[in-house]
Amino acid sequence: PGGSFDVSGLTLPNVERIEIVRGPASALHGSDAVAGVIHVITSMGRGPMRGTVSTRLGSFGRRDWSAEAAAGTGRAAYSFSLLRSQTDGILEFNNRHANTVVSGRASFLPDDRTRADLSFRVGDREFHYPTDGSGNVVDRNAFTYGDETLLAASVKRELSPRVDIGVHVGVVDTDGGSDDAPDSAADSLGFYGFTSLDHIRRATVDVRANLRLQTVVFTGGWEFEEERQRSFTESLSQYGTSSGRSEHARANRAYYLHATGEQGGLAFNLGGRLEDNERFGTFGTLQAGASWLASQRAGTRFRVAAGTALKEPTFFENFATGFARGNENLKPERSRSWELGIDQSLFGGDGRVRVTWFDQSFQDLIQYTFATPTPTDPNFFNVAAASSAGLEAEVEGGSGILRGSASWTWLDTEVTDAGFDEGPGAGFVAGEPLLRRPEHSWSAQLTVDAGSRTEIFADLTVVGSRADRDFTQFPAVPVELPRYSDLALGASIEVAVAEAGRPGFVVELRAENVLDQDFEQVFGFLSPGRALYVKGTLTFGGERR
Which tens digits make up the pLDDT trace of 159-193?
999 999 999 999 999 999 999 988 888 778 878 88
pLDDT at 545: 46
Pair 386, 367: CB distance under 8 Å? no
**Residue positions counted in the chain:** 545
Gap between the Cα atoms of 383 and 505, Å rounded: 57
* pLDDT at position 82: 96
**Burial classification of residue 370, based on how many CB atoms lie within 10 Å of its CB (0-12 exposed, 13-18 middle, 19 or more buried):** exposed
Among 365, 297, 362, which Cα is nearest to 335's? 362
Torsion sign across C-alpha atoms 357, 363, 365, 370: positive
Per DSSP (E only), the strands in 112-162 are 114-128, 143-158
pLDDT of the residue at 543: 66
Among the listed residues 387, 381, 443, the one whose alpha carbon sits nearest the alpha carbon of residue 414: 387
What is the model's pLDDT at position 486? 96
Give the β-pairing of 484-496 and 216-237. unpaired
Render each residue's pLDDT in the chain as its tens digit; 545 residues: 876 777 777 888 889 999 988 888 888 888 888 888 899 999 988 889 999 999 999 999 999 999 999 999 989 999 999 999 999 999 889 999 999 999 999 999 999 999 999 999 999 999 999 987 777 888 889 999 999 999 999 999 999 999 999 999 999 999 999 999 888 887 788 788 889 999 999 999 999 999 999 899 999 999 999 999 999 989 888 888 888 888 999 999 999 999 999 988 999 999 999 999 888 889 999 999 999 999 888 899 999 999 999 999 998 898 888 778 889 999 999 999 999 999 999 888 889 999 999 999 999 999 888 778 777 889 899 999 999 999 999 999 998 899 999 999 999 999 999 888 777 778 888 899 999 999 999 999 999 999 889 999 999 999 999 999 988 887 889 999 999 999 999 999 999 988 877 899 999 999 999 999 999 998 888 899 999 999 999 998 876 54
**DSSP state for residue 349 in the 8-state scheme:** G
Angstrom distances, CA of residue 394 to CA of 69, 289, 304: 36, 20, 17
Amino acid symbol at 198: D
Contacts of 215 (CB under 8 A, 6+ apart): 261, 262, 263
* Total-model pTM: 0.86
Taking the CA atoms of 519, 521, 526 and 531 in sequence, report the sign of the dihedral they define: negative
Beta pairing, strands 440-451 & 380-399? unpaired
Long-range contacts of 424-432 (CB under 8 A, 24+ apart): 424/478, 425/469, 425/473, 425/475, 425/476, 425/477, 425/478, 426/475, 426/476, 427/367, 427/469, 427/476, 428/365, 428/367, 428/384, 428/386, 432/467
Interacting residues of 5 by C-beta distance below 8 A, sequence separation 6+: none
Asked if 43 and 69 count as a contact pair (C-beta separation under 8 A), the reply is: no
Rounded CA Rg of the chain: 26
DSSP states along 58-121: ETTTEEEEEEEEEEE-SSEEEEEEEEEEEE--SSSSS--EEEEEEEEEEEEEEETTEEEEEEEE
User: Which H or E element spans position 180?
Assistant: strand 163-180
For the chain, the average pLDDT equals 91
pLDDT, tens only, 246-276:
899 999 999 999 999 998 899 999 999 999 9
The Cα–Cα gap between 353 and 374 comes to 56
User: How far is the C-alpha of 272 from the C-alpha of 304, rounded, in Å?
Assistant: 17
Q: How many C-beta neighbours within 10 Å does residue 468 have?
A: 19
The whole-angstrom separation of Cα 370 and Cα 382 is 15
Residues 6+ apart with CB under 8 A from 301: 291, 292, 293, 294, 342, 343, 344
- Cβ-proximal residues to 80 (8 Å cutoff; 6+ apart), any chain: 14, 68, 69, 70, 103, 104
User: What is the phi/psi pair of residue 237, to 5°?
Assistant: -150, 165
Output DSSP code: residue 499.
B
CB-based contacts of 516, cutoff 8 Å, min separation 6: 529, 530
Asked whether 171 and 203 are in contact (CB, 8 A), the reply is yes
How far apart are alpha carbons 63 and 81 in whole angstroms?
A: 17
